[in-house]
A and B are shown apart, each in its own frame.
Chain A
């Protein structure tokens, strides 16, 4: 028997047959669902190749230090070690990469800028050997003072994180330690403030949340005979990775062939590169396949986090509850490298006013370069931080005016036709008041829901759970509301497109649609939706989804709530092209047999060509014969423009999505422990392409927002070192922390979007956090201006 020479446990085609019917609007099973539930699904960490080596990364123990020397000799002497690489071994002129600004060294050169920055690489025949060898690399560091907040970043003698910047934001930022700054000015705040009967101000803080995806960074690089490399990788955007990897390897893009391997969650954390370049470098150096798998500890250093933020807000309103103006300043900590910081700044500023009509605004958002961990994309992307602050402000204003907080919001809620602070008119449904009405009208959970029939306490339903801290003592209920606004798709003039290739062919006497895109399925259910679209558009049952790779054009990123809109849109568009070809061929073959071929509107349904009146003209099998029909094309959403650098004006976003939450919490006011009892959500999704998946997205996003409210935070010490890089101390909600989440889905079509759909993934993450916090404030009477809230914040004055 020949021994296998290729890699194993790499992605395979996913077929769905007659047992998984379901077009647009149905909720068919996921083609990858059974595999994932039974543990058979091959994640990127499961891949294997004969003779493969294991790569390991040596990382900086300091947040800011000069690298005085690196001595790799002892590591190289260790048996089983094939290569040890440092900056000096980088093969090309290009030694840095980055999503937007190429500022991140593939390996540190002369200086490390954050705790955990990669300094050297080892390839060995066993992962343990690689780790031991890495520990034998001698790096001499000289510690440097750390930049860790706005004051230290902008101080007169502040060390510059990136001296000599030449990126496109460098000319307009007020200080080189500011990555990007975006003001938005509209109306006349000063005179509006004079009309205000009440003015409230607030200072808020958001901690550093982690995406905490469960599948750690991992991949397999296989050197190829042509001098190139095949990279199997878990990522969010293959082509963006490719554009960054190839130059550092000194290879043309066509020699770096990438295939998406099984992705265990992303939430923005896989937008940036992690081990991609490293595995390729080691594979090309050793001539052997190299696998790298981070463990959980390393994963906390292997990807960017959500920007921690400080936010200052001022709002004014008239006595009758109309907003007069708002001012805010949002300072995001971008950490050592730019990552997605510029786009996060654009999002934070353009969503800073929330889903409200406010004619007079002065907004400023900026991201700093510091020695803290690099921060970038995470679900909600700048809009999360703003929503926490403006929703707290809404409650403060309502309290000041003696108004119901929901009614106050409804009075100021935007609707279709409202104008954003950027001057952009919202030209699709914006049912903000209606979403609030819906969550408010849901029945409230029973009082003392934790009491058993016999009057005894069920601790599982109380704050503290099985930790048995209360049997009802000190427990106070609170209810809170919040609503948010989030853009969908890439913004600010970005040429955002997706590519699809669809083939319709006869296999085993049945028509089969084969869909090929480079879309990263990261768990969101995109491939399920693609199958549904193909069924609806082409009238087939059987759909085969090919593995995503770079043999087809870019699909863009699985982020910004955009993939169903964009790659779903591309699949729909290309299916239409395929349908046209099929009908053309049908007319050629059978047109003479029935006049309807020439006169009627023709559809593909149930494997047949039918008229809009339902008359069958031919079967797809007969039309196709032995010759498949195939089409490929790029598809774009409507264009946007960049925000003006001084006024922030511009048609910057493609689409907006809205969600509202009502949180019901019970707080142990003596211990500061919180149990969220219920977190009801109403969201407009335009069109529920897959209603079950939509509810899943909303419940997942809601839970992630709850995590930010009450537990999730990466802590750094005064020297900018990460204190809790593990799931022991970086806590994410368990099922006992996850409340009942009733979901009310609205479907108000957006005429600009395919099927009228509205990206659904992020909006629920926004309003969940402030709703929980409003409920905790209602229960405790405390101001609680910071998330995540900790027990000591609740019990201490």
Chain B
């Protein structure tokens, strides 16, 4: 195994073009486990830790441009206002040590259906900035996951940043595991209210071959909220609406039975999380004065 240590992003892209099978490594919380367990023997390992840009982030008007290597602990400490859903998801990643090393870039690179950040990214709305010597592309996150542990990157591409929409309303994240900390998701759910566009987005993790958006559930809920005048009135969402939303979220799942849980349980749990997190976010929306302010204090236009 050869160990590449590019000093700059350009060197990294050149190295990736030259050695397309090179596996990028930043925190190593996923790649090193696979290597240590002999599940994976890459010909080249490319250490990205010298490229400081990947550890930086910028908060713009619309989005947070999050460097691929920014560790979860930084998201929790410094971006909880702009990215509340992702910050909640980051809280559930591994142990404090893992949160100091692991990053959203790594989660996307691994593209495990159980990755904790995916439902939050799907709910908030995000684009992956992928770059190669050939140029840059922006891949909407819902198109990024292509299969179990497969993603849309070309073999010469690296993830540079993730552009995540700043929260314009309350967001929540829930994850079921069979332990109260340090656990891989049995299934997970992210939800974001977007009062600006009067839409709700929902992301599901670990309940299908890829992380996915609960599109049918979103469409149902968007229509129901619009028709019921909920966004303006801020009234409590009718239980029937919440129930239908939860059922459609369950229905969006395509889970399997494995050591972590049964398919039937996953479907059921996603429904429970959908109903509860919708309730929590809507309650925040009501409490905040219906979109004039949001949870965490972010101001809306």
Question: Are A and B subunits of one complex?
Answer: yes
Task: Report the Cα distance A672→B273, complex, angstroms.
Answer: 12
Beta-carbon contact of B268 and A795 below 8 Å: yes
- Of B149-157, B177-185, B225-233, the segment with at least 4 beta carbons within 8 Å of chain A is B177-185
- Identify B180's interface contact among A465, A471, A729, A790, CB under 8 A: A465
B7 on interface, CB distance cutoff 8 Å? no
- Say whether A468 contacts B179, CB under 8 Å: no
Measured CA separation A46–B36 after assembly (Å): 18
Closest-CB distance, A218 to chain B (whole angstroms): 16
User: In this complex, what residue of A is CB-closest to B260?
Assistant: A729
B88 CB-CB contact with A under 8 Å: yes
Q: Counting CB contacts under 8 A, is B78 at the interface?
A: no
Q: Which residues of A727-746 are within 8 A (CB) of B?
A: 728-729, 731, 733-737
Which residues does chain B contribute within 8 Å of A673, judged by CB atoms? 176, 178, 180
Task: Kindly report which residue of chain A lies nearest to residue B279, judged by CB atoms.
Answer: A473
Collect the chain A residues with CB atoms within 8 Å of residue B268's CB. 795
Complex Cα gap A463–B37 (Å): 31
User: What residues of chain A lie closer than 8 Å to B261, measured between beta carbons?
Assistant: 790-792
Q: Is the CB of B265 within 8 A of A469?
A: no
Measured CB to CB, the nearest residue on chain A to B184 is A728
Judged by a CB distance under 8 angstroms, whether A467 is at the interface is yes
Bound-state Cα–Cα, A792 to B183, Å:
17
* Interface set, chain A 459-496, CB cutoff 8 A to B: 463-471, 473-474
Cβ of A779 within 8 Å of any chain B Cβ, yes or no, is no
CB pair A469–B36 under 8 Å, yes or no, is no
The yes or no answer to A758 lying at the interface (CB within 8 A) is: no
Question: Do B183 and A731 touch across chains, with their CB atoms under 8 A apart?
Answer: yes
Decide if A726 is an interface residue (CB 8 Å cutoff).
yes
Contact in complex: B178, A711 (CB < 8 Å): yes
Which B residues touch A795, using CB under 8 A? 265, 268
The A-contacting residues of B in range 248-300, CB under 8 angstroms, are 259-262, 264-265, 268-269, 272-273, 276, 280
Closest residue of chain B to A295, judged by CB? B36
Determine whether the beta carbon of A467 is less than 8 Å from that of B265.
no
B178 CB contacts on chain A under 8 angstroms: 673, 710-711, 731, 790-791
B181 touches A734 (CB 8 A): yes
Q: Does A675 contact B (CB under 8 A)?
A: yes
Segment touching A, from B47-55, B67-75, B167-175, B213-221: B167-175
Nearest chain-B residue to A726 (Cβ)? Answer: B37
A contact residues around B36 at 8 Å (CB): 295
In the complex, residue of chain A having the shortest beta-carbon distance to the beta carbon of B268: A795
What is the number of residues of chain A that contact chain B, defined by CB distance less than 8 Å? 38
Evaluate whether A671 and B262 lie within 8 angstroms (CB atoms) in the complex, with A470-B276, A795-B268 already known: no
B198 within 8 A of A: no
The answer, yes or no, to whether B58 is at the interface (CB within 8 Å) is no
From residue A210, how far is it (CB to closest CB) to chain B in Å? 14
Q: Could you tell me which residues of chain A, from 697 to 746, have a CB within 8 Å of some CB in chain B?
A: 710-711, 715, 723-724, 726, 728-729, 731, 733-737
Q: Mark A670-713, 1 if CB is under 8 A from B, else 0.
A: 11110100000000000000000000000000000000001100
User: In the complex, which of the residues B173, B177, B184 has the most CB atoms of chain A within 10 Å of its own CB atom?
Assistant: B177
Within the complex, the shortest CB–CB distance from B190 to chain A, in Å, comes to 11
Find the A residue at minimum CB distance from B177: A467
Q: B44 contacts the other chain (Cβ, under 8 Å)? A: no
- The CB with the most chain B CB atoms within 10 A, among A467, A736, A792, is that of A467
B101: CB under 8 A from chain A? Answer: no
Would you call B92 an interface residue if the criterion is a C-beta within 8 Å of the partner chain's C-beta atoms? Answer: yes
Closest-by-CB residue of A relative to B271 is A670
Taking CB atoms, residues of chain A closer than 8 Å to B19 are: none
Given A297-B37, A670-B272, A731-B178, verify A466-B265 contact (CB < 8 Å). Answer: no
Docked-complex contact A295 and B183, CB < 8 angstroms: no
Given the known interface contacts A295-B36, A671-B269, the answer about A464 and B259 at a Cβ–Cβ threshold of 8 Å is no
Q: Is B61 an interface residue (CB 8 A)?
A: no
* Interface range, B side: 20 to 34
Contacts of A675 in B (CB 8 A): 180
Please give, as numbers and ranges, the residues of chain A lying within 8 Å of B260 by CB-CB distance: 729
Q: What is the bound-complex CA distance between A715 and B261, given in angstroms?
A: 12
Interface of B is mostly: mixed
Bound-complex Cα distance A295 to B272 (A) = 39
Name the A residues within 8 Å of B194 (CB-CB): none
Q: A471-B280, A729-B259, A791-B186 are in contact. Are A736 and B264 (CB under 8 A)?
A: no
A305 CB within 8 Å of chain B: no
| Assembled-state Cα–Cα distance A791/B186 (Å) | 10
The answer to the question of A796 belonging to the interface, with a C-beta cut-off of 8 Å to chain B, is yes
B273 & A469 in contact (Cβ 8 Å cutoff): yes
The answer to the question of A180 belonging to the interface, with a C-beta cut-off of 8 Å to chain B, is no
A748 CA to B37 CA, complexed, in Å: 50
Which residue of the partner chain A has the closest CB to B258? A723
Interchain CB contact under 8 A, B175 and A467: yes
* Closest chain A residue, CB of each to CB of B272: A670
Q: Is the CB of B37 within 8 A of A464?
A: no
Q: Known contacts A729-B184, A734-B181; is A464 also within 8 Å of B176 by CB?
A: yes
Q: How far is the CB of A561 from chain B (nearest CB, A)?
A: 28
Q: Are A465 and B181 in contact (CB under 8 A)?
A: yes
Bound together, the chains give a CA A735 to CA B180 distance in angstroms of 9
**Which residues of chain A come closer than 8 Å to B273, judged between CB atoms?**
469, 671
Interchain CB contact (< 8 A) of B181 among A470, A724, A736, A792:
A736
B38: chain A residues within 8 A (beta carbon): 131
B5 at the interface (CB under 8 A from A): no
Closest-CB distance, B210 to chain A (whole angstroms):
20
Q: How far is the CA of A385 from the CA of B276 in the complex (A)?
A: 38
Contacts of A464 on B, CB cut-off 8 Å?
Answer: 174-177, 180
Interface centre among B91, B276, B280 (most CB of A within 10 A): B276
In the complex, what residue of chain B is closest to A676 when comparing beta carbons? B180
Question: Is there contact, CB below 8 Å, between A791 and B265?
Answer: yes
Chain B residue, CB-CB nearest to A465: B180
Given the known interface contacts A469-B174, A792-B262, the answer about A737 and B276 at a Cβ–Cβ threshold of 8 Å is no
Q: Which residues on the B side are within 8 Å of A468 (C-beta)?
A: 88, 91-92, 172-175
**Do residues B269 and A791 form an inter-chain contact, with CB atoms below 8 A?**
yes
Tell me which residues across on chain B come within 8 A of A723, comparing CB atoms. 259
Chain B nearest Cβ from A250, distance in angstroms: 33
- Please pick, from B174, B179, B265, B276, the residue contacting A672 in the complex, using a CB distance under 8 A: B265
Q: Whole-angstrom distance from the CB of B243 to the nearest CB of chain A?
A: 13
Q: How far is the CA of A470 from the CA of B279 in the complex (A)?
A: 11
A contact residues around B179 at 8 Å (CB): 711, 731, 733-734, 737
Q: What residues of B have a CB within 8 angstroms of the CB of A791 in the complex?
A: 176, 178, 186, 261, 265, 269
The CA-CA distance from A463 to B186 in the complex, in Å, is 15
**Complex-state Cα separation, A263 to B92, whole angstroms:** 32
Residues on B with C-beta less than 8 A from A792 are: 261-262, 264-265
Rounded to whole angstroms, the CA-CA distance of A728 and B185 in the bound complex is 11
CB 8 Å contact bits of B4-26 with A (1 = contact, 0 = none): 00000000000000000000000
Residues from chain A with Cβ under 8 Å of B184 in the complex: 728-729
Residues of chain B with a CB closer than 8 A to A724's CB:
259
**In the bound complex, do residue A466 and residue B176 qualify as a contact, i.e. CB atoms below 8 Å apart?**
no
Roughly how many angstroms separate A297 CA and B174 CA in the complex, as a whole number? 30
Quick check: A467 and B172 within 8 Å, CB to CB?
A: no
Q: How far is the CB of B83 from chain A (nearest CB, A)?
A: 15
- Interface core residue of A297, A464, A723 (most chain B CB under 10 Å): A464
- B93 shortest CB reach to chain A, Å: 10
Q: Closest B residue to A672 by CB, please name it.
A: B265
Rank and list the top 8 A-B pairs by shortest CB-CB distance, nearest first: A465-B180, A792-B265, A736-B181, A467-B175, A736-B180, A734-B181, A731-B179, A670-B272
| Chain A contact residues, CB within 8 Å of chain B | 131, 295, 297, 463-471, 473-474, 670-673, 675, 710-711, 715, 723-724, 726, 728-729, 731, 733-737, 790-792, 795-796
Between A and B, 15 residue pairs with Cβ closer than 8 Å are A131-B38, A464-B174, A464-B177, A466-B92, A467-B176, A467-B183, A468-B174, A468-B175, A469-B273, A726-B37, A790-B261, A791-B261, A791-B269, A792-B261, A796-B264
17 additional contacts, CB 8 Å, given A467-B176, A675-B180, A731-B179? A466-B91, A466-B92, A466-B181, A468-B92, A468-B175, A469-B174, A474-B272, A671-B273, A673-B176, A715-B259, A729-B260, A731-B178, A733-B179, A736-B181, A791-B178, A791-B186, A792-B262
